[in-house]
C-alpha cells in the first residue's frame, strides 16, 4: 500500500472537495497549488485552492474568499510534498489535505442558510447580525441567497468603469443602484472611496504618499486630486439614490476623533438626513477612543484587518511577515474588550469587519465580548450562523474572559480547543 500523505495546513475557506493537484492558477476542476502572487482573475474557479505560505489578511487572499472555493494555506515544506497530478481530498474547514481518499467523507454539506434580512439567534436568544461585504452587484445578489442580515460593506474602491477611466456620478448612480436593487430588501452600507497602495484603480496616477501601508489612504485622500473628485461623485450618486433605498455611508480609515467630526459634517451637507453616517476605525488610537467617536458618528465600524496590521507592526499584504499578524494573540482580544467596555450600551452601533470573526473559534469569543454585528464574506454566512446558533452568549462571556486572561497564543488555542498545527501560520514567527 502506498504511503498516505496527510498535511495539516491553516483552514481558510470551509468545504470539502477532491481533485488532482495542479500547480498554477488555471486548474479548472483541479486543486490549484499557487503562491499568493500567482492569484489573478478566473473564467471559472478551481475545485479547491492551496495557497503556499500566503498572507491570510492580504487584500488578495481575502478576495478569493468571495469565490466560496474550499481553501487551505500551507507552508513551504508542506507544499513541497505535493506533486503535480496527485489525487487529494482538501478540507478547507479543518485545514487538512490528504491522499486518503477512502477515509474522508465527501462532500461536507453546507449548513442551513439563514433568512435574509433577519438576525441569527444564539442559544439564549441574543440577536446577531451577519452582514455581507460585497464589491459588485453579483456579490449583492449572492449575499441575499446566503442569508445576509444586510450589506455591511460595499467596497466602493473596487467599482471601476470597464474602460478604467475616471468614474463620475452617473457611473456610481448606475452601479450603486444595481447593487441596491439586487440586495433588496436588505439595508446597504456604502464605504466611501478607500484607496490604498494595494488597491490602486487604473484611473489613479502616482501620488506622493500612496506607497506604504501607513501612508495616504482612505479619507486622507478626500482632499487630494483626482481622488477627491471621485469621492464627491460618490456622494452625488448616493444623494440621488437615498430616496429609494435604505442607505448608510461609512467614512474609511479615520484615526482621530477630529477627522470623524470634520468629515461627518462635510458629508452631511451633501446628503439627505435619511442617510446615516458612520466612521471606520482601523487603528488602536481610534478603537481606544470609541466612546468619543460614538458621539460623532451615527454608527462605527472596526476594521480588524488593518487594526491588526497597526497593532502588530506588520504589513498585512507581505507573506514574509504574515506570522506576526496573530488573530489568536490575547492582547488583540484585550484591546477589543476595552473598546466594548468603553462603548457600553452603545456597542450595538458598532460593527466588526474583516477576517477575524470568520476564523475558527473566534466568533464565540467576540460574542462573549458583547459584539453583535459583523461584516463578513457572504459565502461564510451559513457556517457562521451555525456557530451563532450553537453559542450561549452568557457562557461565551466566560470564554472571552479566559482568552483575555491568557499570556500567549498557545494558551488561547488551548482554551478554544484548537490544534496549534491548524494555526501554524501565526505561531513561531522566528522559525
Domain with residue 304: its CATH number is: 3.20.20.60
Secondary structure of residue 401 in the 3-state scheme? helix
- Same domain membership, residue 73 and residue 177: no
* Residue 183 maps to a domain: yes
Report the CATH number that the domain containing residue 81 is assigned in CATH: 3.50.30.10
Cell numbers given for 120: 441569527
Residues 180 and 284 in one domain: yes
Lowest mean pLDDT among 37-41, 266-270, 369-373, 397-401: 37-41
Residues 300-319: tens digit of each pLDDT: 999 999 999 999 999 998 88
Look at residues 98, 130, 163 and tell me which one is the last residue of a structural domain. 98
Backbone angles phi, psi at 208, to 5 degrees: -60, 130
Q: What average pLDDT does range 220-229 have in this prediction?
A: 96
Tell me, what's the pLDDT at 68? 86
What is the pTM assigned to this prediction? 0.93
With CA atoms as reference, report the closest residue to 89 among 181, 25, 19, 189.
19
- Whether 180 and 281 map to the same domain: the answer is yes
Residue 106: CB atoms within 10 A of its CB come to: 10
Residue at 110 is within a domain = no
Phi, psi of 9 (to 5 degrees): -105, -165
| Band (1; pLDDT cuts 50, 70, 90) | very low
Residue 315 lies in a domain: yes
Asked if the structure places residue 105 within a domain, the reply is no
Name the residue among 119, 141, 146 with its Cα closest to residue 130: 119
- Where is 180: in which H helix or E strand? helix 169-183
For the chain, helix (H) and strand (E) counts, in that order, are 14, 17
- Give the three-state DSSP class for 300: strand
Contact 319, 36 (CB under 8 A): yes
Q: How many CB atoms are closer than 10 A to CB 225?
A: 10
- Reported as a single tens digit per residue, the pLDDT across 246-265 is 999 999 999 999 999 999 99
3-state class of 49 per DSSP? strand
Residues 165, 235 share a domain: yes
- 8-state DSSP, 59: H
Residue 10: which H helix or E strand, with range? Answer: strand 10-13
Domain assignment present for residue 132? The answer is yes
What's the pLDDT at 72? 95
Residue 259 shares a structural domain with residue 396: yes
How many angstroms separate the first and last alpha carbons of the chain?
A: 34
Looking at the structure, do residues 94 and 149 belong to the same domain, yes or no?
no
Residue partners of 1: CB distance under 8 A and separation at least 6 = none
Residue range 39-52: mean pLDDT, rounded: 89
Give the separation between CA 395 and CA 402, rounded to whole angstroms: 11
Average pLDDT score over residue span 325-352: 97
> Is pLDDT at 429 greater than 50 in this prediction?
no
| Residues 166, 276 within the same domain | yes
| Domain identity same for 214 and 74 | no
Report in angstroms the alpha-carbon separations of 200 from 164, 280, 403, 414: 11, 20, 38, 41
Q: Which of 11-20, 134-143, 208-217, 402-411 has the weakest average pLDDT?
A: 208-217
Distance between CA atoms of residues 114 and 120, nearest Å? 7
Is the domain of 68 the same as that of 185? no
Same domain, 283 and 386: yes
Residue 92's nearest CA partner among 32, 160, 36 is 32
Same domain as 87, residue 200: no
| Rounded-to-integer distance, Cα 382 and Cα 284, Å | 31
Provide, rounded to the nearest whole percent, the portion of the chain with pLDDT above 90: 78
Domain count of the fold of the chain: 2
The dihedrals phi and psi of 48, each to the nearest 5 degrees, come to -150, 165
Contacts of 73 (CB under 8 A, 6+ apart): 9, 10, 12, 50, 51, 53, 54, 56, 61, 95, 425
Q: Is residue 108 part of a domain?
A: no
Residues of the chain with pLDDT > 70, as a percent, come to: 96
pLDDT of amino acid 431 = 43
The answer to whether position 330 is within a domain reads yes
Can you tell me the distance from the alpha carbon of 421 to that of 360, in angstroms, rounded to the nearest whole number?
Answer: 13
Which residue has better confidence, 28 or 156? 156
Specify the pLDDT at position 230: 98
Residue 219 located in a structural domain: yes
Query: Domain range spanning residue 21?
Result: 6-98
Whether 168 and 300 share a structural domain: yes
Amino acid at each position: 500500500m502506498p504511503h498516505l500523505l496527510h498535511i495539516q495546513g491553516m483552514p481558510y475557506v470551509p468545504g470539502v472537495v477532491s481533485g488532482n493537484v495542479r500547480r498554477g492558477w488555471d486548474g479548472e476542476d483541479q486543486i490549484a497549488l499557487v503562491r499568493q502572487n500567482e492569484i489573478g482573475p478566473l473564467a471559472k474557479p478551481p475545485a479547491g485552492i492551496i495557497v503556499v505560505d500566503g498572507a491570510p489578511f492580504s487584500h488578495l487572499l481575502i478576495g478569493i474568499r468571495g469565490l466560496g472555493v474550499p481553501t487551505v494555506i500551507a507552508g513551504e515544506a508542506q507544499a513541497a510534498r505535493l506533486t503535480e497530478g496527485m489525487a487529494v481530498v482538501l478540507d478547507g474547514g479543518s485545514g487538512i489535505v490528504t491522499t486518503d481518499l477512502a477515509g474522508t467523507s465527501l462532500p461536507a454539506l453546507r449548513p442551513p442558510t439563514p433568512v435574509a434580512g433577519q438576525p441569527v439567534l444564539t442559544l439564549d436568544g441574543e440577536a446577531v447580525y451577519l452582514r455581507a461585504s460585497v464589491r459588485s452587484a453579483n456579490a449583492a445578489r449572492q449575499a441575499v441567497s446566503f442569508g445576509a442580515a444586510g450589506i455591511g460593506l460595499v467596497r466602493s474602491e473596487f467599482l471601476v468603469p470597464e474602460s478604467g477611466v475616471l468614474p463620475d456620478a452617473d457611473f456610481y448612480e448606475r452601479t450603486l443602484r444595481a447593487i441596491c436593487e439586487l440586495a433588496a430588501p436588505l439595508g446597504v452600507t456604502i464605504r466611501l472611496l478607500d484607496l490604498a497602495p494595494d488597491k490602486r484603480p487604473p484611473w489613479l496616477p502616482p501620488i506622493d504618499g500612496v506607497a506604504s501601508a501607513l501612508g495616504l489612504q482612505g479619507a486622507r485622500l478626500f482632499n487630494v486630486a483626482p481622488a477627491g473628485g471621485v469621492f464627491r461623485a460618490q456622494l452625488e450618486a448616493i444623494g440621488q439614490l437615498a430616496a429609494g433605498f435604505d442607505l448608510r455611508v461609512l467614512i474609511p480609515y479615520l484615526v482621530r476623533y477630529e477627522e470623524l467630526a470634520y468629515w461627518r459634517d462635510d458629508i452631511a451637507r451633501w446628503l439627505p438626513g435619511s442617510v446615516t453616517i458612520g466612521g471606520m476605525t482601523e487603528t488602536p488610537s481610534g478603537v481606544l477612543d470609541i466612546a468619543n467617536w460614538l458621539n460623532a458618528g451615527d454608527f462605527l465600524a472596526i476594521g480588524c484587518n488593518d487594526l491588526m496590521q497597526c497593532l502588530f507592526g506588520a504589513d498585512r499584504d507581505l507573506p514574509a511577515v504574515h506570522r506576526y499578524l496573530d488573530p489568536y494573540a490575547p492582547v488583540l482580544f484585550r484591546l477589543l474588550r476595552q473598546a466594548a467596555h468603553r462603548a457600553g450600551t452603545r456597542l450595538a452601533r458598532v460593527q466588526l469587519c474583516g477576517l477575524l470573526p470568520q476564523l475558527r473559534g473566534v466568533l464565540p469569543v467576540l460574542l462573549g465580548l458583547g459584539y453583535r454585528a459583523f461584516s463578513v464574506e457572504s459565502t461564510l454566512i451559513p457556517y457562521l450562523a451555525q456557530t451563532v446558533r450553537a453559542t450561549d452568549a452568557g457562557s461565551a462571556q466566560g470564554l472571552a474572559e479566559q482568552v483575555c486572561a491568557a499570556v500567549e497564543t498557545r494558551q488561547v488555542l488551548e482554551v478554544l480547543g484548537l490544534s496549534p498545527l491548524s494555526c501554524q501560520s501565526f505561531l513561531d514567527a522566528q522559525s
